[in-house]
A and B are shown apart, each in its own frame.
Chain A
Amino acid sequence: MGKRKLTIRRKESIYGYIFIMPFIVGFFAFTAGPLLFSLAGSFTDYNITSRMDFVGVENYQSLIVDDGLFRTSLWNTIYYVAFSVPLTTLGAIFISALLNQDVPGIRVFRTLYYLPAVLSGVGVYLLWMQLLEPGTGMVNLLLGWVGIDGPNWLYDPDWTKPSLILMKLWSVGGSMLLYLASMQGVSRSLYEAAEIDGASRWRQFIHITIPMITPVIFFDVVTSLIGGFQIFQEAYIMSGNGEGGPANSLLFYNLYMWNQAFESFDMGYAMAMSWILFVIVFVLTLINLKLAPRWVHYEGEEK
């Protein structure tokens, strides 16, 4: 009996590993192996064709000490993340609060607000390049209606990054749905109790809704930080196929890394760059996890 049970368990184990085998193979081939290769490669002068000699920390040293463009690209990326993450988070919360009400046509509204989030790729970037054309685009036309003389957007180094942030704001619908689902999960009895105490709608929103959706805010902030640091495609297309835009104002971290790796074929240098980015993102995620208990509220937790 005991022996038979053991063989069944072993058989199950073998089955289990057969089923997850594609993931295990893929993990070693496409994630773990490449990670190790790139860590080792970041200490070499690898250029994909001829050489791969150990150069110690030379790549890291020249990046941090000598490379002005590296600093520009890091600054551009931090600027983009620092504005786009809070703005998209607040925007998504605001819209989902409006969509969490019982008004006529609410289902249609939800669909429309979500639509831009599923649209992505080059078509969308070209559309925004046209919308942001200073003289003939729609954005400055609309701004003109309310008496604002619109800027030169993608032609003005001070306005290129706000251009991309504006485009990003158009598609907040994805995280908006997350917030909406979470808001609908908030127990109505909480609002009823607050109502009896005479709390205004604004106070109810601040003291009930917001605390109850903090787990989703946390998830959204963590994932959009990771995503924000990796901005590439929109910058590549909208800066004229990777050139970095006026005064390098759209030279984001990954765009610079791309040019180092696949234009100059300085792969060791580019892999060192990728590890610096990895460490930055990892540290920020750790800080987020550390700070989370101070403001993220999980239901069922002691208060």
Chain B
Amino acid sequence: MAKTTDRSDYLTDSEKAESQSAVNTKPRYWEHRGNRNNMWRMLNFVLLAAGSLLILSPLWWMFATSLKTMAEVMSYPPSFFPESWEWSNYIRAWRAAPFTTYTINTITITTLVVIGSVLANSFIAYGFAKIPFRGKGIWFAIVLSTMMIPGFVTLIPQYVLFANLGWVNTYYPLIVPHFFGSAFYIFLLRQFYMTIPTELIEAAKIEGASHFYIWWKIGLPLTKPALATVAIFSFNGAWNDFLGPLLYLNDENLYTLQLGLAVFKGQLSTQWNYLMAGSLLVLLPVILLFFFFQKYFIQGINLSSGGK
């Protein structure tokens, strides 16, 4: 008992307490300063809370306006809370334009774009990440360089191309290009593939599996989280795309929700309650998706920043 050299015997009481607390509470770097730092944290919290209200207020305003009568929308000063909650605005707004058709069209396009993006980019990224071949470096540099080309430079010639193929007023120009990969997603999925050990693929090859089989049976399942990110980003992109439908679709039966909303604005001009009801309905799927799959949104951002 006497022989055990307890280090704490050589320390004063206050030092003992300090080393104890260091073990137990793991102080953060800012905790040394006591009161002044508590004040900072309070200020920080207050700023964040006030900022949150500011950030959320437009969304609340959209919701509130969508429930007001037109008389209340136009009254001055405007109010944050509707006097009577006119839920029927939503039904009226929905019926004021062929929104059901727009929704079906948008879902059709979006689904095909998501399928194309997930399959094509995963396939291409597997090639860049897991197969050694000559010229890979150059082709990957080309992938990255396409990210720097402003989309508007290729917009007009692409239109000419699709017009010559007879694809104007069809969904092909909005869907087909997504089956050929896009730089950002290739980059993102390649980053993710790099974390999968090559031994796994080597082992499968020794078993006699082809790369197609390995990509389908091992690559796709193992990269599910990154594929979810690609699916969500491309869903968001296709759902919110306005430029593509504006350029390629003329027939109102083919219109998407974004295009429909723009037409709706042209027809109603200042019917803000209906306009806000329509806008909110169009934004709702994205808002819900965000709250349920937030993790994958954030992962996409972090993955894409990791490689720089």
Write the residues of chain A forming the contact surface with B, with a CB cutoff of 8 angstroms: 9, 12-13, 15-20, 22-27, 29-31, 33-35, 37-38, 41, 48, 95, 98-99, 101-104, 109, 111-116, 118-124, 126-128, 130-131, 133, 135-138, 141-142, 144, 170, 174, 177-178, 181-182, 188, 191-192, 195, 201, 215-216, 219, 226, 229-230, 232-233, 236-237, 241, 254, 257, 261-262, 267, 270-271, 274-275, 277-278, 281-282, 285
Contact = CB atoms under 8 A, between A and B. Distances in A.
A25 B280 CA distance: 39
Contact of A241 (B57, B266, B272): B266
Contact of A121 (B40, B51, B240, B302): B240
Question: Which label, helix, strand, loop or mixed, suits the secondary structure of the A interface?
Answer: helix
B279 interface: yes
Contacts of A236: 242, 246
B301 A181 contact: yes
Contact of B152 (A31, A101, A257): A257
Contacts of A257: 152
Contacts of B208: none
Nearest to A215: B308
Contact of A112 (B52, B275, B282): B52
B294 A111 contact: yes
Contacts of A9: 132
Given A111-B294, A170-B55, A267-B160, A35 B154 contact: yes
B285 to A, nearest CB: 11
Given A38-B153, A170-B58, A274-B153, 6 more contacts: A12-B131, A13-B133, A103-B48, A112-B56, A119-B287, A126-B265
B239 A181 contact: no
Interface string B255-292: 00011011001100000100110111011001100110
Contact of B41 (A103, A219, A270): A103
Contacts of B234: none
A83 B283 CA distance: 28
Interface stretch (B8-16, B122-130, B220-228): B122-130
B124 A33 contact: no
A141 B154 contact: no
Contacts of B215: 19
A122 B286 CA distance: 13
Interface stretch (B17-25, B83-91, B135-143): B135-143
Contact of B55 (A13, A116, A138): A116
Contacts of A281: 150
Nearest to A280: B150
A124 B51 CA distance: 19
Nearest to A135: B76
Nearest to B281: A123
Contacts of B259: 122
A130 to B, nearest CB: 5
Contact of A119 (B133, B283, B298): B283
B62 interface: yes
Given A122-B258, A122-B261, A130-B65, A229 B150 contact: yes
A35 B290 contact: no
A221 to B, nearest CB: 13
B57 A37 contact: no
B211 A19 contact: yes
A126 B275 contact: yes
Contacts of B133: 12-13, 15-17
A124 B76 CA distance: 24
A267 B44 contact: no
Given A99-B48, A119-B286, A137-B78, A230 B242 contact: no
B146 A27 contact: yes
B282 A26 contact: no
B179 interface: yes
B120 A22 contact: yes
Q: Which of A121, A133, A142 has the most CB of B within 10 A?
A: A121
B195 interface: no
A254 to B, nearest CB: 5
B58 A25 contact: no
Contacts of A17: 127, 133
Q: Which of A31, A35, A119, A178 has the most CB of B within 10 A?
A: A31
Contacts of A274: 150, 152-153, 155-156
Contact of B58 (A27, A34, A128, A232): A128
Contact of B161 (A34, A178, A233): A34
